Amino acid sequence: MFLESSPVTTWSEEVSRPQVHPTAYIHHTAVIIGDVHIEKNVIICPGVVLRADEGSPIIIREGSNIQDGVIMHCLQGSSIEIGPRCSIAHGAVVHGPCVIGDETFVGFNAVVHAASLGEKCFVSHCALVTGVQLPGRVMVTAGKMLQSQEEVALLPEAGEEEKKFHNKVLSINEELRRGYKNINHLQVHHLDHQARIKRAVWDGIEGKEALTVG
């Protein structure tokens, strides 16, 4: 993973560094910059960019999954908050100011900008949601451009099918997070074991040399 502090700028004299909970998994190709807070049991997948160097903070709440190629960035003076147990799917763009409520799903290549989404919403693939406030439990259909509150009033409720789909996504990503964390733990243990062996061998060689010299 690439973690970098935000720079000092004319709008911010503070240097902020990402804060990552030890239970979170972040893929090594992800880029996390500035005032980003990643809470427990979050998974950040390959190619994700979370950039809080202009606006900040970006907060990813507990148990959420941020999938491959997702981009998050904020306008100056704004922030992003992703609620607990959310899924931001492959290639989505979330641009602050933005609040996404608990257990909400944002689909493949969807764009959410300057918007507030309530809990358990379902934003389908390739949808555009900008400049609006969504109540909880509504669905934005695939490819829809949602840009006014009048359109929001006509949205259907997210049904059982969407709920089951999102629950499955959450379950799979939680299992992946645990699996990747376990792999990392085993790799660290293996490297530590190898280092101990090398130290023991080196100590043995030095001991023999000392005896020879003596």
Percent of the chain that is helix, strand, coil (3-state, to 5): 25, 30, 45
Q: Based on the residue annotation, tell me whether 54 is a catalytic residue of this protein.
A: yes
Dihedral angle over CA of 79, 84, 86, 88, nearest 10: 40
Element counts in the chain: helices (H) and strands (E):
2, 20
Tell me the torsion sign for CA atoms 73, 56, 48, 112: negative
Other CB atoms within 10 A of residue 30 CB: 20
Q: Strand (E) positions, 49-125?
A: 49-52, 58-60, 65-66, 71-74, 80-82, 87-88, 93-100, 105-106, 111-117, 122-123
Set 54, 62, 119, 174: catalytic member = 54
* Nearest-angstrom CA–CA distance, 161 and 145: 22
* Nearest-angstrom CA–CA distance, 87 and 35: 21
**Enzyme catalytic residues:** 54
